[in-house]
Amino acid sequence: MTDTKNTIKKNGYVFLSALLVGVLINSQALFFSTDATDSLRAYGSTQAQESSGRFIGHILDLVMERMGFYQPFRFINVLIYLVFLAASAALVVMILDIGRRCLALSAAAVLVSCAMNSGILAYYYVCHMYGFSLFLSVLACFLLLKKRAVLAPVFLLVLSLGIYQAFFPTVLLLIFLHELTRLMDEKTEIKEWFLTVFRYMAAVLAALVMYILLNRLYLSLAGVSMSGYLGMSENVIPSYTPAMILDYIGQSFRFLAQLPFTDRYFLSDNGIMQLSLGICIGLTLLIMVRELAKAGTGLRKGLLLLLFLALPCFINLPMLMQGTVGERFSLNWYFILIVPLVWMDRICPDAGTVPDVLEFLTGAAESKASRRWKIACGLLCTAVLFGAAYSAYRNVNIYTSYAKTHEIAEHVVLDVENRFADCEDYGVGDEILFVGSLDARTINDAFFNIEYQEYLSKVFNRDHSSIFRRYGLHNHRIITPEDDRVLKFSLGDFGALEEEDIRRLPYFCVTGLRDDFPVIHSGSEEIRSMPSYPDAGCVRKIDGILVCKFSD
């Protein structure tokens, strides 16, 4: 216990620095209008439905509601998240044994500035629960890897998985990276290493099995099923074929190789970030070569080679579990910047501050190597901090864009309301039908890039009744996809319909066509002939219903 207190106290500067930097970077989330709420119905809860696999989050929702804490407090929720994030950053530094202050602070800066945070803090009503889940995951790793505990980590991992599953890949990466780094130490005995890895694997597997069993029990008691949710079964684990796994392995290597040269991924959508990633990947490869050469022959060399080859797959684990990786799932990707910091700290000579890579690899004189190695370490820290600085800038830009998209959404709502009022025979109590979805590109071509177009499209189109309730001047009777007059088709059933059949459908929606809220369409010839917003004539009263057409 005393040792744990001393360890935490020793790394208190990492926590305080990470919290300060995190608050500075994410100050807009604390005070500005940046929420990315998709629906007003989501306010005040974690939006953890029983069938989502987040059954512990659902239980916490019920408890908090019973206690009266069912309102979103932006400042408090965001601040709680940032405290959990800073604590998680300090724990990661302790788990990976980053001793040198400059390297430890660089690693913490990466974690508090990564794009995951803007992806989470935009949803301020739920962000504290994301932070809690992250902290539980990293704390479980700390207790498992540094304190050799078993029961407590298993319990904490079950809690974390029951709140949010996206941090499980980070748990696996931390364990993998810790054991890979330990194997690079020649003092580590291979037999003892295998036994330790087996114990860690058993603990993680036990937590996963317990989570699955408890989730299935909860689903059974609630009388609901997870079948079809994000392609998962009631085991809340996606199924993989050998071909899918092989494709994922190749994809992981291609992903890392592309980062310094492509803006395809938001992680590398700027020249500064591409350069930072290129330097970090290059230094990581150089250290791998050095470690393989130093390992000699035999089992250790083979194990190191195997684990080095597996590293890209562990970094890219979110893509295996999610398919596509948005900001909220991107934490593992940022370890590309952290891995060389860990290994640089480990291989630096005790006598000097930090040596140079070239002399280090060629084995030249230590004094000369130390001078040049300082250049390499300085280059690494500079690259990492520039990468963190760009991530921070990107987060600020995203927060500003979130606020801007809400301004535009409000403008569209008020504009549509004015068109309602100008419509012949308009009455405040009229029913309103929205056909199609708003095309963000037609609203502000100069402002939106692809990312922001997608965001406005989601915040506006997921639930028209919600967005008009938020920004409208009047309460409207809006026809939603749940209305009995709206016919519902599966994608397969709709594909089997003939054009003549579709033209006879007054209002319909197709489930499975979109990942978010279903969009209402119409086969009515009169509605199909109407122009789409913002053109004149996009609002018309038809058969007593006020129709606003956003698209066909």
Query: Is 146 among the domain residues?
Result: yes
Residues 228 and 331 in one domain: yes
Tell me whether residue 173 is in a domain.
yes
Instruction: Please check whether residues 33 and 113 belong to one and the same domain.
Output: yes
Looking at residue 454, its pLDDT comes to: 67
Listed residue (405, 424, 401, 411) closest to 534, CA to CA: 411
Of the CA atoms within 13 Å of residue 117, those in its CB half-sphere come to 39
* Whether residue 433 sits in one domain with residue 339: no
What local confidence, expressed as pLDDT, does residue 427 receive?
Answer: 77
Q: How far apart are CA 522 and CA 435, in angstroms?
A: 7
**In a domain? residue 332:** yes
Of 301, 325, 347, the residue that ends a domain is 347
User: Is 90 within the bounds of a domain?
Assistant: yes
Nearest Cα neighbor of 230 from 520, 494, 516 is: 516
Same-domain status, 316 and 446 = no
Q: What angle do CA 330, 129, 213 make, to 5 degrees?
A: 85
Closest Cα to residue 185, out of 287, 284, 295, 104?
295
Looking at residue 45, what is its pLDDT? Answer: 52
245 is in which domain, residue-wise?
Answer: 2-347
Report the domain count for the chain. 2
181 and 265 part of one domain: yes
Which DSSP category does 532 fall into?
P
* Residue the block writes with tokens 């927060």: 399
**Cis upstream peptide for 534 (omega within 30°):** yes
CA–CA distance, 25 with 117 (Å, rounded to integer):
10
State the Cα–Cα distance between residues 418 and 431, nearest whole angstrom. 16
pLDDT score at 364: 46
pLDDT of residue 333: 95
Q: Does 315 map to a domain?
A: yes
Residues 305 and 445 both lie in one domain:
no
pLDDT single digits (tens) 319-357: 887 777 878 889 999 999 999 999 988 876 543 334 444
Q: Read out DSSP for 474-526?
A: S--EE--TTSTTSEEEEHHHHHT--HHHHHT-SSEEEETSSSSSPPEE---HH
Question: How far apart, in whole angstroms, are the C-alpha atoms of residue 532 and residue 548?
Answer: 8
How many residues are given for the chain?
552
In a domain, 72, yes or no: yes
432 and 306 in a common domain: no
* Residue 389, in any domain of the structure: no
3-state DSSP call for residue 338? helix
Q: Are residues 343 and 467 in the same domain?
A: no
Q: Which of 315, 311, 338 is nearest to 325 (CA)?
A: 315
Going by C-alpha positions, the residue among 316, 386, 402 that lies closest to residue 120 is 402
pLDDT tens, residue by residue, 205-244 = 999 999 999 988 888 887 777 654 444 555 566 677 888 8
Ramachandran category for residue 425: left, alpha or beta (phi over 0 → left; psi -120 to 50 → alpha): left
Final residue of a structural domain among 347, 362, 393: 347
Cα(292)–Cα(342) distance, rounded to whole angstroms? Answer: 17
Whether the Cβ atoms of residue 527 and residue 542 lie closer than 8 Å to each other: yes
On whether both 236 and 342 belong to a single domain, the answer is yes
Question: Which pTM does this prediction carry?
Answer: 0.82
Cβ–Cβ < 8 Å for 521, 552: yes
Name the residue among 394, 403, 327, 397 with its Cα closest to residue 74.
403
Encoded tokens for 444: 């502000």
Please report whether residue 188 resides in a domain: yes
3-state secondary structure 392-419: HHHHHHHHHHHHHHHHHHHHHHHHHHHH
| Whether residue 166 is found in the same domain as residue 22 | yes
Residue ranges of the chain whose pLDDT lies below 70: 1-8, 32-49, 69-72, 226-238, 348-374, 442-454, 512-517
Domain termination residue (choose one: 288, 317, 347): 347
pLDDT digits (tens, 9 = 90+) for 512-541: 666 556 788 877 888 888 888 888 888 888
Residues 318 and 424 placed together within one structural domain of the fold:
no
Say yes or no: 180 and 306 in one domain.
yes
